[in-house]
């Protein structure tokens, strides 16, 4: 990733709200799974480490560990917040959009049939 892209993502990361808050239990499997789902949908997410987390763990180490686990890139880590970026798989998004379109079409056909039947 080039510096210009990273700078742009850093600016966007400062504007968004934290999606996940990591507390005293640390980076459990559930938390990592939740973060993975969020980053798969949004690509750029902000994570907040709570004070109870920081009493037991190092925030920089944890942010790097999380980025490695998710195969994401750590864009920014300031204070209690970390911003991660993972490019979404376009193929998966396209397949999801096709499924939604099929569902919308089938619903609209059903409503047309109901109206015609009246």
Cα(95)–Cα(61) distance, rounded to whole angstroms?
36
Q: pTM score, two decimals?
A: 0.70
113/115 Cα distance (integer angstroms): 5
pLDDT tens readout for residues 80-97: 999 999 987 765 556 666
Q: Which of 9-13, 28-32, 41-45, 90-94 has the lowest mean pLDDT?
A: 90-94
Distance in angstroms (rounded) separating the CA atoms of residues 73 and 82: 11
What is the predicted pLDDT for the residue at 45? 94
Do the Cβ atoms of 46 and 19 come closer than 8 Å?
yes
């Amino acid at each position: 990733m080039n510096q210009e892209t990273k700078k742009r993502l850093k600016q966007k990361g400062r504007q968004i709200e934290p999606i996940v808050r990591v507390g005293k239990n640390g980076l459990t499997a559930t938390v990592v799974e939740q973060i993975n789902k969020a980053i798969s949908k949004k690509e750029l997410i902000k994570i907040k480490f709570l004070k109870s987390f920081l009493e037991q763990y190092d925030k920089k180490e944890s942010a790097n560990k999380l980025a490695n686990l998710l195969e994401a890139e750590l864009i920014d880590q300031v204070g209690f917040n970390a911003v991660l970026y993972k490019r979404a798989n376009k193929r998966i998004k396209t397949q999801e959009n096709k499924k939604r379109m099929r569902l919308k079409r089938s619903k609209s056909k059903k409503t047309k049939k109901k109206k015609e039947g009246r």
